[in-house]
Amino acid sequence: MNRVSNPARYVLFEINRSLENVDNARGHFLKKSFYDLSYSDLQAIASRNNLNGTTASVLFNWHYKKKEIAQCHDRISKSAAAFFAQKFDFALPEIDVVYQSKKDRAVKFLFKLKDGYKVETVLIPFNNKYSICLSSQVGCAMNCSFCFTGKQGFKRNLTTSEIVGQFLNAWRWLATNRPGEERILNIVFMGQGEPLHNFDAVKKACEIFLSQHGTSIGMQKITVSTAGYIPGLERWSRETPGVNLALSLHSPFEEKRNELIPINKKYPLDEVLDFIDKIPLHKKQFVTYEYILIKDFNDTPDDAEKLGAILAGKSAYINLIPFNSFPDSQYRPPDWDKVEKFKAVLDTFKIPTLIREAKGDDVLAACGQLNSAAIGW
């Protein structure tokens, strides 16, 4: 007898199925994600539960170095396999949509999280290799006026597993769709969100990326960008293991910067710069200062002179980024001759300066263009 011919049994079947789904979902949400664990967390768990001493290194190697999805049950003891299957969730954020630039080889991913929220991640190509631009929050509370993410407001912080998961699934997408190109050499926290506003999750994600047992990415290959959130910088100076720092500077004048980055009213640029100056740097390490050039707003020789004056003598590197338009943006990209003149002024201060070429702007993947609300949270 089929279900349709027996409506009562069919209703019962559907109820049971729904309850099963709820149970599965509950289990999924209650279990801690494996990808929230640093290597030292994993070692501590293995030791506390009397699991074989090699369990942590085997698991980290399998999931982060080999980047395998399936659990490696046959490579660890049966008791360890049973323990991790019962206690931990191995799911990662799912790729919902992939946008591939026709202009260059940039790729933007829209990731769907367990609670339905969505975030974007970008692979930025250079010579058949990639940098990855990771998001740290769903939306952003900073409300910068030149940034499409700022327009969508703040929903929540991402977990470490949701940050690490962007990297792992972008890598897998490359391995499947561009075999031989699965080389992500740099990680920049410049996607959606203010990373230092989600300090703990970002710090742990950095620890996971740096671990020699896993992806083993060098400190000099990871950059965390901030709008100048001093409470996060305070923790950064004490706790973060030597990865690079970038400051979204965008104007050397407090009034203009207030308009671009509202938290400048609370944490003014001169205090932020003083704070950054006190952070110890490694030999040959520098702080990157990001400067978005906006037509007839901050692209004059006066702006360049003042910028050069406040950064001269620091271990500084300037990225000049011609503004990338987004729907309803109030600003416009600068004329090219103004960009070149701006750089020429900075060159007189002998500060290394790069004009950054926009990548993926045809799919709204360039700097300042991310907005997962525009296509549904």
> Which sequence positions are flagged as catalytic?
120, 367
If binding is defined by CB under 6 A, does position 162 make contact with ligand SF4?
A: no
Query: Does 310 interact with ligand SF4 (rule: CB under 6 A)?
Result: no
To ligand SF4, the closest distance from the beta carbon of 214 in angstroms equals 27
Q: Tokens 């290799």 label which residue?
A: 129
- Structure token digits, residue 173: 């997408």
Q: Fill in the DSSP letter of residue 61.
A: I
Dihedral Cα 42, 220, 201, 375, nearest 10 deg: -120
Q: DSSP for 300-361, please give it.
A: SHHHHHHHHHHHTTSSEEEEEEEPPP-TT-S--PPPHHHHHHHHHHHHHTT--EEEPPP-SG
Quick check: 193 binds ligand SF4 (CB under 6 A)?
yes
The smaller minimum CB distance to ligand SF4, of residues 107 and 224, is found at: 224
Nearest approach, Cβ of residue 322 and ligand SF4 (Å): 15
Which residue in the set 158, 208, 210, 227 belongs to the binding site for ligand SF4 (CB under 6 A)?
A: 227
Of positions 57, 149, 159, 369, contacts ligand SF4 by CB under 6 A: 149
d(CA 137, CA 257): 23
**Residue labelled with tokens 């004490």:** 238
* Alpha helix (H) residue ranges in the chain: 7-30, 39-48, 55-60, 78-87, 160-177, 199-210, 230-239, 254-260, 269-277, 301-311, 336-348
Q: Which is nearer to ligand SF4, 194 or 299 (CB)?
A: 194
Query: What residue has token string 């400190």?
Result: 219
Interface with ligand SF4, residue 293, by CB under 6 A: no
What's the closest the beta carbon of residue 248 comes to ligand SF4, in angstroms?
Answer: 6
Min dist. Cβ of residue 144 to ligand SF4 (A) = 3
Residues in region 87-116 near ligand SF4 by CB under 6 A: none
- Does residue 192 bind ligand SF4 (CB under 6 A)? yes
Using alpha carbons, list the distances in angstroms from residue 274 to 27, 129, 282, 316, 368: 48, 36, 18, 13, 26
- Pick one of 138, 147, 304, 316: the residue that binds ligand SF4 (CB under 6 A): 147
Smallest gap from residue 194 Cβ to ligand SF4 (A)? 4
- 194 forms part of the interface with ligand SF4 (CB under 6 A): yes
Which residues contact ligand SF4 by CB under 6 A?
A: 140, 142-144, 147, 149-150, 192-194, 227, 248
